Structure 1
């Protein structure tokens, strides 16, 4: 098994290239078992767009843009995929948003893309209300810190009334820079949930796209959004083990189904 580390991505395993785009602020924490199992069948390239696992955690971070993540992913693939070759792509949550943008704008060389519960709420009829909810999460983070934001986000994803939020203090810039979750809340959550996928481009590429939804997310916003995106884009919908964090919570089962979906659809 080969293992390589660059300043914003890791490469391990052998076989067809599979680019993995983590969620949150792009830090691959928690995905080690998943990528290890996938590396038994694929050359797994795990992209870390902010370099948080590559020595940059603790440095200031600015507002993130979906386009910047997908352009970075395209650059990484260009460096690891042989000329004329093709790659598979798996993205989850915010990484799933970047995966959709990557396929829409850089489809050349992509064999199949699985976007697991990307929070592209612009595809929903109640998009305005969901954007407002994510703004409330951001406001809770700025006013009272991680616990308050986490409580509001959890209620929003489960589509239930939030109730009273826990108290707390805002994080200092140094504390924020040292926390991947804080960086996600501060610089990724609002711009990524406000992203509108290019449905026309994705529909034209629907044979190369599968939306993933967690079995544990049924009746919740992430599952509803994934299903709506699949319908609009004419893409397949696959149900994966667990909920929104199924890739972390059920890595063996998740890796097995992901491998099956990629190899079946990517032939």
Structure 2
């Protein structure tokens, strides 16, 4: 069953934020970076049967337009955006599921505004600075940026997937990226590689602040992500905080692989 969607924008000091609301009940926010609202739609629809579900485009992507398109995106800025949206919706405290870079956004929100959340589920945050090979990771990120700046978009994308330990079969890669990108897709890639990737994967959480609110935090890992970059980073964070990671169906994007199954697992974790 298709759930009705209420779409709107919220003005912020340096731009506007696009967001969508579905369903009714306790508030769940689904947050990505650079992933925007659209890929979350299937799991949002599954959750909307018994929750109010907030999805949003992160700053600088698709419908969330900045006054200065060259402004860098940081976890702190995205967390402030999310805090404004949660206050605007006024249906909290919220459960926040952050995926990948959005998991880092959710951690920054929990550090700054723990009163706005009932629970943060940080699903596979790419916290490279917590890993022993952080210096190598910095070098790879610099290579990714250099490739994109040189006009090699496909090379940058390949290097990014290599950085993330994600092996994409060549036919699938060509299906996803081999065609001519739309201007919107190209702008989305440009913003991520030049203004968002380093500030996100290079972010260091405030471990003391997170320990103080660890009762509001779940570290989620995909069942098929074992040994991959985000699995290692997630487990490093969990170890620092004395938490046991919680497994979710699928891999890094498990909510796109089987949305109903992922939604059911999230309901179990929320309790």
Q: Please tell me the TM-score bracket, short chain as reference.
A: 0.7 to 0.9
Query: Would you say the 8 A contact 1:89–1:114 is kept in 2?
Result: yes
Q: Distance in 1 between matches of 2:185 and 2:5?
A: 28
Secondary structure of the residue that 2:50 maps to in structure 1? coil
The correspondence of residues 1-267 of structure 1 with structure 2, limited to 5 A, is 3-7=5-9, 8-24=18-34, 26-50=35-59, 52-54=61-63, 56=65, 60-82=69-91, 85-158=92-165, 175=183, 178-263=186-271
Gaps of 5+ in 1: 161-170
Q: Distance between the aligned counterparts of 2:248 and 2:148, measured in 1?
A: 30
TM-score (norm 1): 0.84
TM-score normalised to structure 2 length: 0.83
Report the 3-state secondary structure (helix = DSSP H, G, I; strand = E; otherwise coil) of the residue aligned with 2:55: strand
> SS in structure 2 opposite 1:18?
strand
Q: By how many angstroms is 1:188 displaced?
A: 1.1
Q: Secondary structure at the match of 1:31?
A: helix
Question: Does the 8 Å CA contact 1:28/1:53 hold for their aligned counterparts?
Answer: no
Give the CA RMSD over aligned residues: 2.7
